Amino acid sequence: MAAPETIAQDGGTWTFPASQPLVLDSGARIEGLELAWRSYGTLNADKTNAVLVCHALTLDQYVAGEHPTTGKPGWWTRMIGPGKPIDPAKHFIVCANVVGGCMGSTGPASINPATGKAWGLAFPVITIRDMVRAQAMLVDALGVDTLLAVVGGSMGGMQVLQWAASYPERLFSAVVVASAARHSAQNIAFHEVGRQAVMGDPDWRGGDYALHGARPEKGLAVARMAAHITYLSEAALQRKFGRELQRDGLSWGFDADFQVESYLRYQGASFVDRFDANSYLYITRAMDYFDLAAEHGGVLAEAFRKARDVRFCVMSFTSDWLYPTSESRHIVRALNAAGARASFVEIESDKGHDAFLLDEPVMEAALAGFLDGVERARGLK
């Protein structure tokens, strides 16, 4: 284990020592893996106040404060920041870009040491468990044995569930928001549409676009547009856009007549500026492969058998049709069956899956209340 002294306490890029390759579920291994991470707050003397945050598909390590490249607020400032449920004044908050990502961690756009060129499709397929395994090694390097909490929404919630299954002794509590213990057929289907859009773009070049100075921008934009619809509820789209036009009258052509068209085109176009197309393939694949019960003989409760002492908080949103409440209930039933401590909140919201990133006072209050109890139990209060 790397000594805590060798790693900065506020973030940066941590290169795994030569003695610690990342061994993947596929059997492949990555030598010298780099994890880009960020922390907020200070680890206490007892090392009992560390909170690991796990990010969603296209997000990154910048959970709070200002994002260094976009200048926008971090993606979870509703939940993390001064006076928020997760507060740098009392917590040591860590978030790392996932393996396979494109915000500084090793991924398909990184240089393959064997060739000196971008990995492209030579990069090994990764899983949610691989992401979590790498995070656990980073947490080791930070000198933290037990995390006060592991917290995440959407794909981040999958990582939280995997933490509970893989390292139950290393977490005191776990918060799973708007997530699922496995990808459904519809989830896989939407991801496959996105991948086919990317891979069908001639500029994808079999994954080697970087070698050709090209980028499959149109395909990736279409992938993002399709995915974006799944992040919003029908009601939210209707409330925000309805059938409002961009201009007076129809164009009688194929320009963006409706505001919702213009909005989606913008979502697609801005996404390609900040995200790598191959990372999109790899991370969606990791999510599609995720099926926590399958790792445990098809019985989800078995995944949590050793996590009986972990305090769980599961949250879902009524209008989330991507990871609907039924998926959260499925998790909660398994936790109950395993004898784990689980609290569950279904939050009334018309904002769809994206609610977990938006202003949802009940979510904030529920997390604050849950963490308050966790801190008391941990002797921090």
Catalytic residue numbers, as ranges: 154, 320, 353
3-state secondary structure of 291: strand
Is residue 44 within 8 A of residue 326, CB to CB? The reply is no
The DSSP 8-state label assigned to residue 17 in this structure reads: P
Write down the least CB distance from residue 107 to a second copy, Å: 15
Which of 78, 91, 170, 285 binds a second copy (CB under 8 A)? It is 285
Residues sharing a CB contact under 8 Å with residue 120, sequence separation 6 or more, in sequence order: 108, 206, 207, 208, 209, 210, 211, 278
List binders of a second copy among 319-358 (CB under 8 A).
Answer: 321, 324
- Which C-beta is closer to a second copy: that of 264 or that of 357? 264
Is residue 116 within 8 A of residue 210, CB to CB? The reply is no
Q: Does 115 bind a second copy (CB under 8 A)?
A: no
- Which C-beta is closer to a second copy: that of 140 or that of 291? 291
Measured CA to CA, the distance from residue 258 to residue 37 in angstroms comes to: 40
Which amino acid is located at 37 in the chain? Answer: W
Q: Does 241 bind a second copy (CB under 8 A)?
A: yes
Measured CA to CA, the distance from residue 205 to residue 212 in angstroms comes to: 8
Q: How many CB atoms neighbour CB 1 within 10 A? A: 10
Q: Does 364 bind a second copy (CB under 8 A)?
A: no
Q: Does 302 bind a second copy (CB under 8 A)?
A: no
The one segment of 2-10, 84-92, 257-265, 305-313 that binds a second copy by CB under 8 A: 257-265
Measured CA to CA, the distance from residue 363 to residue 355 in angstroms comes to: 9
Q: Does 254 bind a second copy (CB under 8 A)?
A: yes
Q: Does 206 bind a second copy (CB under 8 A)?
A: no
Q: Does 214 bind a second copy (CB under 8 A)?
A: no
Which of 144, 281, 300, 363 binds a second copy (CB under 8 A)? It is 281
Measured CA to CA, the distance from residue 109 to residue 267 in angstroms comes to: 22
**Binding residues for a second copy, total number by CB under 8 A:** 56
Is residue 338 within 8 A of residue 134, CB to CB? The reply is no
Q: Which residues bind a second copy (CB under 8 A)?
A: 26, 121, 124-125, 182-186, 188-190, 192-193, 195-197, 199-202, 218-219, 221-222, 225-226, 229, 232, 234, 237-238, 240-243, 250, 252-254, 256-258, 260-261, 264-265, 268, 281, 285, 288-289, 291, 294, 321, 324
